[in-house]
Amino acid sequence: MKSIAVVVLSAVLSVTAATTHHATGHTGVARLTHAQQQAIVAAGEWHRGCPVWMSELRVLSFRYYGFDRSTHIGQIVVNAKVAHPLATVFGKLYRMRFPIRDAAFSSTYSPHPDQSGDVTASFECRAAVPSPCSGGTSTHHWSMHAYGEAVDIDPRENPYVGCGMTRDKTALSYLKRSWHRPGMVTPAVLRAFTSIGWGWGGSWVGSTKDYMHFSANGH
């Protein structure tokens, strides 16, 4: 177990170096390294019974424009069949200088992930979250994140809202969507995702909205 922990930590540190400084690394789509696979398992984000095999996932490395007005390299884990289309989307976001706060692999899959949850990320093997409006505790359905076919963009600026409320106190001011600030999903961002056929949680009918959430089937 100790040797595995050392390998996982080494992978996290190497990825952190590439994603927390100015962009100097490579972009593109690649298979997960053995160390990255171990990091995802150690983080509890993949386990037996998940709807996709680890071999079906890819690491998408992309340039993004940060809130610090600098260029960074982000890495998200996605399904192989959506990796290249998503690469074109993030290319569009970068060219329009849409700011992303954090898209580091380590912020999602390290032994100590970003506790704020304010991370642009994709793969997470979990069930879909029920609307608080329904009062239920489970949907008994996999989230699209569990298939690697969903992306959450800037969660603070684009919160999940149920019955007109959000549990993230830091996101309260962002419930007023007409008051636009950097990082909030714009029509241009929406067009970038709809250009590959993806839907947006901000378009859901009813009082439940997931403004950060884009997915291959809109759910």
Domain ranges of the chain: 2-215
Q: Is the pLDDT confidence value at 22 over 80?
A: no
Highest mean pLDDT range out of 137-146, 160-169, 174-183?
174-183
pLDDT of 132: 65
Q: Is the pLDDT confidence value at 11 over 70?
A: no
Who has greater pLDDT, 11 or 34?
A: 34
pLDDT of 104: 95
pLDDT of 33: 97
Determine which of 51-55, 83-87, 126-130 has the lowest per-residue pLDDT on average.
126-130
Alpha helices in 51-195 (DSSP H): 80-95, 105-109, 187-194
Who has greater pLDDT, 12 or 114?
A: 114
The whole-chain average pLDDT of the chain stands at 86
pLDDT of 185: 97
pTM of the model: 0.85
Residues paired with residue 78 on neighbouring β-strands, in sequence order:
58
Token pair, residue 53, equals 């095999």
Determine which of 141-150, 167-176, 180-189 has the lowest per-residue pLDDT on average.
167-176
B/e letters for 130-147, b = 16+ CB within 10 Å, e = fewer, are bbbeeeeeeeeeebbbbb
Contact present, 43 and 15 (Cβ < 8 Å): no
Token pair, residue 219, equals 């759910």
Determine which of 2-6, 31-35, 60-64, 191-195 has the lowest per-residue pLDDT on average.
2-6
Q: Is the pLDDT confidence value at 94 over 90?
A: yes
Average pLDDT of span 56-79? 97
Name the phi and psi angles at 217, rounded to 5. Answer: -115, 5
Give me the percent of the chain exceeding a pLDDT of 90.
66
Average pLDDT of span 156-173? 80
Q: Per this entry, what is the length of the chain? A: 219
